[in-house]
C-alpha cells in the first residue's frame, strides 16, 4: 500500500519523491496527452459537424425557396403560348377595322384578356424581356437571323419574332429576334 505524506498518496505527489513510480508517471503523462489530443480531435470534429449541418440547412432552405419561386415554371412556359396567340389575334386586326362596331367589342375582349394575363404574369414574377433596339444578349435573346441595316449598329435587335420572358431572375424563354448586320 502506498505510503501517505500529509494525506496525499505518494503516486500523486508532485515533488517526484517516489522514484519507484516514475515510469507510471510517464505512462500517465503520455495517456493524459493522448486524451487531450483525443479531446481536441473530438472538439474539431464537432465543429466540422456543426458547420456541415449549418451548410446543409442553408442549402435546404435555398432549395425550398427556389422550389416556391420557380414551381410554376413549366406551367408558365405553357401559358406563354396563350399570350403569343392573343398578341397574334390582335395583330390580325388592322387599325381601320378596330373602329368597326362589330369588331370593336371582339377586339376589346381580346385586349381585356391579354391585360388580365399580363397581370397574372406580374403577380407571379414573370416579366417580358426588352428586345427592340437593344444590343443582342445571348443570355436573353436568341438570334434567328441577321438583317442588313444602315440605320442600326451591327448586333442591335431590329425585329422581335417572339417575345422572351423571365421568371424572377431566371430565363423562362429567350426572345427570338433578328439583329442588324
Sort 174 into a burial class: Cβ within 10 Å, 0-12 / 13-18 / 19+: buried
Spatial separation of the C-alpha atoms in residues 75 and 19, rounded to whole Å: 85
Question: Is the domain of 148 the same as that of 119?
Answer: no
Q: Find the domain containing 130 and state its range.
A: 126-181
Does residue 6 belong to any structural domain of this protein?
no
Question: Is the domain of 174 the same as that of 131?
Answer: yes
Question: Is the domain of 181 the same as that of 166?
Answer: yes
Spatial separation of the C-alpha atoms in residues 87 and 165, rounded to whole Å: 15
Number of domains in the chain: 3
Does residue 1 belong to any structural domain of this protein?
no
Given this model, what pLDDT does residue 2 score? Answer: 47
Residue-wise pLDDT for 11-29, tens only, equals 555 555 555 555 677 788 9
Tell whether the model's pLDDT for residue 41 goes beyond 80: yes
- Under the banding of pLDDT at 50, 70 and 90, the label for residue 1 is very low
pTM for the complete prediction?
A: 0.65
Q: What is the CATH number of the domain that holds 170?
A: 2.30.22.10
For residues 115-143, average pLDDT: 94
Supply angle C-alpha 97, 103, 105, rounded to 5: 135
Question: Is the domain of 37 the same as that of 80?
Answer: no
Residue with cell 420557380: 70
Question: Is the domain of 146 the same as that of 156?
Answer: yes
157-162 vs 175-180, strand pairing mode: antiparallel
Amino acid at each position: 500500500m502506498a505510503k501517505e505524506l500529509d494525506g496525499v498518496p505518494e503516486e500523486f505527489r508532485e515533488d517526484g519523491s517516489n522514484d519507484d513510480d516514475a515510469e507510471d508517471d510517464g505512462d500517465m503523462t503520455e495517456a493524459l496527452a493522448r486524451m487531450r489530443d483525443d479531446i481536441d480531435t473530438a472538439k474539431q470534429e464537432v465543429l466540422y459537424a456543426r458547420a456541415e449541418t449549418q451548410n446543409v440547412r442553408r442549402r435546404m432552405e435555398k432549395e425550398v425557396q427556389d422550389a416556391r419561386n420557380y414551381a410554376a415554371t413549366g406551367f408558365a412556359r405553357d401559358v406563354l403560348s396563350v399570350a403569343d396567340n392573343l398578341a397574334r389575334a390582335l395583330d390580325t386586326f388592322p387599325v381601320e377595322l378596330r373602329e368597326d362596331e362589330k369588331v370593336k367589342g371582339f377586339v376589346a375582349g381580346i385586349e381585356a384578356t391579354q391585360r388580365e394575363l399580363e397581370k397574372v404574369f406580374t403577380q407571379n414574377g414573370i416579366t417580358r424581356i426588352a428586345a427592340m433596339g437593344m444590343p443582342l444578349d445571348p443570355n436573353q435573346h436568341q438570334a434567328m437571323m441577321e438583317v442588313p441595316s444602315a440605320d442600326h449598329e451591327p448586333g442591335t435587335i431590329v425585329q422581335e419574332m417572339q417575345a422572351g420572358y423571365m421568371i424572377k431572375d431566371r430565363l423562362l424563354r429567350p426572345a427570338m429576334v433578328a439583329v442588324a448586320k
